[in-house]
Amino acid sequence: MKQPLKYFLKYYLFWLLFFLIQKPIFMLANRSLMGDIGWQDWILVPWHALPLDLSVASYIMVPFGLMLVAAYVCPARIIARISNVYTAVLLLVAVVLFGTDLGVFPAWGFHPDKTLFIYLASPKEVLACAPWYVWVFGILGMIIAWIACFLLYRKWMKGLDQIQVPQNLSRRIGSGVGMFILTGALFLPIRGSVTTSTMNTGRVYFSTNQMLNQAAVNPIFNLIESMSVLQFDTQRYTYMSSEEAENLVNDLLPAQGSPDKVLTTSRPNIVFFILESFSKNAWDAMPCLRQLADEGIYFSQVAASSFRTDRGVLATLSAFPGQPTSSLMVVPGKSQHLPHLGKSLTKEGYRLKFWYGGDEDFTNMRSYLIGGGFMDRVNDHSFPLSQRLSKWGVPDHILFPTAADEIARRTDTCPTLDVILSLSSHEPFEVPTTDRYHHPYLNSIAYADSCLGAFVDTLRQSEAWDKTLLVFVADHGYPYPGDVQNHEPRRYAIPIVWAGGAIKEHRVVNTLCSQIDLVPTLLAQMDIDHTEYVFTKDVLDTTAVPFAFYSFNDGFALLTEQDTVVIDAKSDHRVIGTNADTEKHARAFMQRVMEEIERL
């Protein structure tokens, strides 16, 4: 058994070294996010990463171990050829996943999970996330890395095609059985223990610096784990009885009082702007929106509900909190049952229209919009090819004036709701104006803001202005500046601004609130029932409890006046905050959200 055992151990070590090298590469690629780390952290990360690396390596080893068992009855050259093909395929998958991880982590703030497959269903949008040269050099780099790794493997495993086994039949059988038992023993590192607790990504968390924990996560294991988790795993977020959770959430949502009235009419024409990645951290790059905030109503303490557009649109229009590991929008069977601003206003005689310069089928948005009553929709195919200048579709400087001209000329007797979803401030931030800021994200925000300003100028000069309410809200924040991590509250800080002729007077609202509170606050101003939006409050109600809730990849947070608590669900640990009562309310809120999804 000496020679087969030798190659068994060498193959195991090859993959462990492969995973080991990935750790410092990841840390270097995300150095701006790593914060202040010392030399010892470069050692601690791979050390604490070992459980997941051993687990993934053991998964890989099982077929190879069976190949070595087969070597006792098959020619060694055949085993070597099968091993070469097997390893080449695995290395290709691993290199592509690691390369993708390096590419998306800075923007997403988490390792690729099953969300990746949602976006791969729309390849045009995936390609639009980065300039062509990034894709070319990225793919070229992965091909080179794959070839280099495979050549190293061949050199490392030299002699596998000449492996020798005992000639004596009884010894050969005994050695083969021994190799089979050894392969079976890989069950232990795969599972991680012999108790009821199985291997999971939280096992490698060891630091209060979340980026060190992320660096220790094996991206292959992370993807496998996310694929094995139910789409909406209620049990994963069950922390107490349903009755206790409901009571704790009700503490945050007291009986509704009477809000201050800030509109000149209860039935304004409404234009809803959902602005791509308009983080409050980029407030200085939004002079037009800042001017509107100085004229109208500025909600200054707002947290986005989640971190991607599909979740942000749903949180804005349905006032439903974002989910940590999945998106309701991609499940029409459930999203159709959500309350919806479109449904609420259709009952009041409003005519609806949705404007977007991109592909409305991305993440099943079309089904969600139709379910909300938006039968009249503008998308990229509403424009000629000559105007689809952006990788994402039609840029804002074309979409916004098109919408403004129509809205300004309307003579409808019934009130209208227009929802405009911008796209130009999405990665890779390629916009016509390139000289305002050195940072491409800030430059794209400034460009989109200028398009917004031109829209407002057009409407301001029309008769429609006096009866129009303009609502501006970001779909989500953005990790700017570069040291912002995905779980931090400042990652989710966004502005909400109400403007237009339907505003009585300027006001700054400093109540801590969430993106999901926008629709109920608006409906309360219009004297329309909003009790079906069960997780929200009317921010202009003086009895409202100031709080905000947001979710990130497999985690969630509750912001209150007493404390901010951030919980990582993978490790089930509180990573920010100290208040036990706030933590209990945060867990109750997350549990109730998942229970409501189960009910839909």
Count other Cβ atoms within 10 Å, centred on residue 147: 14
**DSSP line for 65-102:** HHHHHHTTTS-HHHHHHHHHHHHHHHHHHHHHHHHHHH
- What's the pLDDT score for residue 121? 64
Final residue of a structural domain among 228, 253, 273:
228
Q: Which of 208, 223, 226, 419 is closest to 312 using CA atoms?
A: 419
- Rounded Cα distance, 213 and 205, in Å: 5
Helix (H) or strand (E) holding 351: strand 351-356
Measured at the CA of 576, the angle between CA 572 and CA 581, to 5 degrees, comes to 75
Final residue of a structural domain among 178, 201, 228:
228
Indicate whether 376 and 425 sit together in one domain.
Answer: yes
Q: Which of 404, 496, 481 is closest to 441 using CA atoms?
A: 481
- What's the pLDDT score for residue 133? 72
394 lies in some domain: yes
Indicate whether 221 and 271 sit together in one domain.
Answer: no
Indicate whether 311 and 206 sit together in one domain.
Answer: no
The one-letter code for the residue type at 7 is Y
- What's the pLDDT score for residue 211? 86
Q: Which of 10, 1, 59 is closest to 159 using CA atoms?
A: 10
Q: How many domains does the chain have?
A: 2
Q: Is 505 exposed, middle or buried (0-12, 13-18, 19+ CB in 10 A)?
A: exposed
293 lies in some domain: yes
Indicate whether 116 and 253 sit together in one domain.
Answer: no
567 lies in some domain: no
Final residue of a structural domain among 228, 259, 278:
228
- What's the pLDDT score for residue 338? 92
Q: Measure CA of the first residue to CA of the last residue in the chain; give whole Å.
A: 58
Indicate whether 330 and 419 sit together in one domain.
Answer: yes
Indicate whether 366 and 431 sit together in one domain.
Answer: yes
Q: Which residue range(s) make up the domain with 299?
A: 242-545+581-599
The one-letter code for the residue type at 281 is N
Q: Which of 363, 353, 371, 357 is closest to 312 using CA atoms?
A: 363
Indicate whether 250 and 221 sit together in one domain.
Answer: no
560 lies in some domain: no
The two structure tokens encoding residue 83: 């091993």
313 lies in some domain: yes
- Rounded Cα distance, 486 and 482, in Å: 11
Strands 507-509 and 297-303: parallel
Indicate whether 79 and 187 sit together in one domain.
Answer: yes
146 lies in some domain: yes
236 lies in some domain: no
440 lies in some domain: yes
pLDDT tens series, the chain, 600 aa: 568 888 999 999 999 999 999 999 999 988 888 888 888 989 999 998 998 999 999 999 999 999 988 888 888 889 899 999 999 999 999 999 999 888 888 877 778 877 777 666 666 666 666 676 777 888 899 999 999 999 999 999 998 888 877 777 777 787 888 888 888 989 888 887 655 456 777 678 777 687 888 888 899 988 887 776 555 666 788 999 999 999 999 999 977 777 889 999 999 999 999 999 999 999 999 999 999 999 999 999 999 999 989 899 999 999 999 988 888 887 766 787 899 999 999 999 999 999 999 888 777 788 788 889 898 999 998 999 888 878 788 999 999 999 999 999 998 789 999 999 999 999 888 888 767 788 999 999 999 999 999 999 999 999 999 999 999 999 999 999 888 888 999 999 999 999 999 999 999 999 999 999 999 999 999 999 999 999 999 999 988 999 999 999 889 999 999 899 999 988 888 999 999 999 999 999 999 999 998 887
- For CA atoms 103, 105, 110, 111, give the dihedral sign: positive
Indicate whether 365 and 327 sit together in one domain.
Answer: yes
Q: Is 96 exposed, middle or buried (0-12, 13-18, 19+ CB in 10 A)?
A: middle
Indicate whether 175 and 294 sit together in one domain.
Answer: no
- What's the pLDDT score for residue 382? 93
Indicate whether 492 and 410 sit together in one domain.
Answer: yes
- Rounded Cα distance, 291 and 287, in Å: 6
- What's the pLDDT score for residue 196? 47
- CATH number of the domain at 279, please: 3.40.720.10
- Rounded Cα distance, 593 and 600, in Å: 11
Indicate whether 222 and 256 sit together in one domain.
Answer: no
Q: Is 468 exposed, middle or buried (0-12, 13-18, 19+ CB in 10 A)?
A: buried
- Rounded Cα distance, 565 and 365, in Å: 32
